[in-house]
Amino acid sequence: MRQLRFIAKKEFYHILRDPRSLAIAIAMPILMTFLYGYAINLDIENIVVAVVDFDRTLESRQLADRLYQSTYFSRPERSVVFEDPEAALRRSQAAAIMIIRPGFGEAVRGRERFSLGMLVDGSDNTLSAAIQHYSSVIVADYTRDQMPLNLTVPFIEISTQVLYNPDLKSSHFFVPGLVAIILMMISALLTSITITREKETGTLEQLRTAPVKPWVILSGKIAPYILLALLDGILVLVAAELLFGIPFAGSELLLLGFGLIYVSAALSVGILISSLVKTQQVAMIAALTSTMLPSVMLSGFIFAIRNMPRPLQGLAHIVPAKYFVTIIRGIMLKGAGLDILVIHGLSLVALMAVLMTVAARKFDTRAG
């Protein structure tokens, strides 16, 4: 136990003496939080829609005003050329163009059927679907308001109430999942680097001639990185609260418990990588590619796993992030307890146990 303390303390010296690794460990989570929280924004806001009004009546202007009063749409900076409205789409000056043919005002007054034209830029399919949805809602709203008060028609609508993320903010969706990605990457990266560094300096071999057990070397070396990973997790969660106002509905302690299991799995991945490679550089590349890609793609962090082809769904089952993304979203957004998360939790524990066993065995073997 005393040896373990010495190794852990020495590891802290390494961390403090190597500003680059420390910078990666601290700056990367913050940078990624900003990226996923702000830049990658799937919320629909201020989409530029041009209105080409051939009708030029009171009603056509009312409709256009209604469109722009909503927070979803805004006016293009330049007016659209009437002869070739599509040019605005080609030049990306607008995401959609509403064309109001002559006769709109008359049709509204006479309560006749009328068809509005809409050109939508389909190259961004998320956006185009949203434009279609929101614009038809606004048009329906407008026509309902034009009904004389004495005339009532049965009007049935669905009143949807969104739970757990009422504003459907993408930051609420991304940031908890981001904790999973960051913990996996940082833990695997730093562990594989610190072990390959001792391989490069030859000190690992020196330790093997000393009366210290391999598991003590291993535990002592990774203990500081468990703390560092947890610090990163807290950093992202604090940012989530302060910057994006993401609520924390569930138990912090439960999340910490699962976090420790998850970090252990991630560290094991790092140990495995270090047993396969010889230099820090290769370790860094291997750790980033082998954790980043599966954790982002196959964890449900962005893409729903159930919509994937079968083989990929199978592969997702051995990605630790898949379980932790579900767990952390459940705890943070829904306040889910252990009773609900038990299946995911057990899967994560099993995965960690397998990874740890393999990693410890790999680390134990002697060179040549």
For another protein, the binding residues (CB under 8 A) are 2-3, 5-7, 10, 13-14, 17-18, 201-203, 205-212, 366-368
CB of residue 7 vs another protein: minimum separation in angstroms? 8
CA distance 296 to 173: 13
CB of residue 188 vs another protein: minimum separation in angstroms? 22
Q: How many residues does the chain have?
A: 368
> Residue 48 belongs to what H/E stretch?
strand 47-53
Q: Specify the residue for token string 């490069």.
A: 200
> Which one, 17 or 310, has the nearer CB to another protein?
17
CB of residue 213 vs another protein: minimum separation in angstroms? 9
Q: Regarding beta strands 96-100 and 117-120, do their DSSP bridges make them parallel or antiparallel, or are they unpaired? A: antiparallel
- Specify whether the CB–CB gap between 345 and 338 falls below 8 A: yes
CB of residue 205 vs another protein: minimum separation in angstroms? 6
> Which one, 212 or 288, has the nearer CB to another protein?
212
- Specify whether the CB–CB gap between 48 and 74 falls below 8 A: yes
Helix (H, G, I), strand (E, B) or coil at 1: coil
Residue 100's nearest CA partner among 34, 55, 68 is 55
CB of residue 216 vs another protein: minimum separation in angstroms? 9
Q: What contacts 315, CB < 8 A, 6 or more positions away?
A: 294, 298
> Which one, 4 or 64, has the nearer CB to another protein?
4
> Which one, 11 or 55, has the nearer CB to another protein?
11
Residue 179 has a CB neighbour count (10 Å cut-off) of 28
> Which one, 304 or 367, has the nearer CB to another protein?
367
